[in-house]
Amino acid sequence: MMKIEIVHEKLISVIIIVISVLLMGGIVYFTAFRPDPYADSEEMGEMPDLVGYNFEEAKTFYADKFEIRESGKENSDTFAEGAIIAQDIAAGTEYIIGSSVVGVTVSLGAKEGETTVTAAAETAAETTSAVTEKILKDKGEPIDDPYAGFEDYIPVNEVDLVTIGFSIDAFGSGTDSDIYNELYNILRSKGVDASYLYYDPQSGVSMEYNADERFSAGSIIKAVYARSILDGTVDLDAKYPMTEDMLNSPYELINGQPVGTEFTVRELIEAAVMQSDNTAYKMLYNYIGYDKFNAYAASLGLPQRMTDENYWFRLTARETAIYFKDIYNFISQHKNGELMEQCMTNAQYREMFASALPDKTVAEKYGYLPQEDYYTLGDSAIISGEDDYILVMYWRNTGENVDTEAFGEVAALTDKLHEFLKGNAAE
């Protein structure tokens, strides 16, 4: 009996050893030889908005991410020759890094025989010349015609600081030239990675640098969207709940309030513009919709259109200034203008234009967008003192720390030049 038990115990031991060897062998095999399920996984990226970029420049810039191929050419009154005017993979859509191909339509410029950018520039020059005569004669009285020369594209070297409606040397050499040169040197130091536009709505004169380069506008669009829904047809006291799907991220609660909290349209506008709250902006465009914004942009002759996939935009300084020119008029003429002005003058982040102009009222909206290798910073403002002007600036930069110093320097120089031109025009 004892002998049988010993044999059984040995047999069990052998079986255990065999099973252990097989298990260990299986583990070694699957570790060493089994195909890695992630070996062929595809790294995904989010397609950028290519519209407005020069085709050749975009091909080079994104060469390590995806291939850009020309799929067609079309005439365009909006975009200069060589610019991308459409793409077949929508901005914000996921793509496979390293293997995706995006087809784009490239602008041929305006059709022959139709209004060209050159003709538009000549019209702008004629109009602003008349405006300049009026400001010198009337000493600062607002112009009757809301048209402004800067609203038309002017074909110039993108890295020139161009004046429209006045000559920088019109009042003699000296202070104005020094300010102009210092301002130009700051902007020129960034080349096409800077953009700038100054506009005086009283005189109609303006000054611009690289004003048709497209930049990520970031949160600047929140002020523009707010203006579009403050047209008087939206109930500002209507309430909407902050639900889980309305959060821009799980941590972005409006004013720290819990999910389920209801906010009025007025409160959402205040949070979106004053605090640059992303969830408030998301709630607005989801609950109020896109139609008002799209109709508003179209009424200004601007191409931006909101969709479910596109509610952030790349803007030029010129387009941004056109929006803010309208906001300027809206503030003084519309019953909701006071709310718009309060939101913009009480914006919490004041480290850019406002920081350099403590004696002025600055109604502004900034925008910031970090990307893989660089970030884009922008500020757009209505600046008021004894008289008013509009100032727009975009700045692409690299580095971990966001540099706002150039915005303060440019704002201070622009303000000096504005005061100098006003003083000489009134003499």
User: Looking at residue 74, which CATH number applies to its domain?
Assistant: 3.30.10.20
Q: 391 in helix, strand or coil?
A: strand
Spatial separation of the C-alpha atoms in residues 133 and 124, rounded to whole Å: 14
DSSP state of 213: -
Proportion of the chain above pLDDT 70, given as a percent: 76
- Compute the CA torsion angle 366, 368, 284, 302 (nearest 10 deg): 70
66: in domain? yes
- Compute the CA torsion angle 201, 188, 83, 70 (nearest 10 deg): -160
pLDDT at 92: 74
Q: 3 in helix, strand or coil?
A: helix
Q: 407 in helix, strand or coil?
A: helix
Residue with tokens 């991308």: 84
| Interval 343-361 mean pLDDT | 93
The band of 21, judged by pLDDT with boundaries at 50, 70 and 90, is: low
Q: What is the span of the domain harbouring residue 69?
A: 44-107
pLDDT at 339: 96
Enter the pTM of the model.
Answer: 0.69
Residue pLDDT, tens place only, 379-398: 999 999 888 999 999 999 98
Whole-number average pLDDT of the chain: 82
Residue pLDDT, tens place only, 109-156: 766 544 333 333 343 334 334 433 333 323 333 334 467 888 887 777
pLDDT at 43: 85
51: in domain? yes
Residue pLDDT, tens place only, 74-86: 887 656 677 788 8
80: in domain? yes
370: in domain? no
Query: Total domain count for the chain?
Result: 1
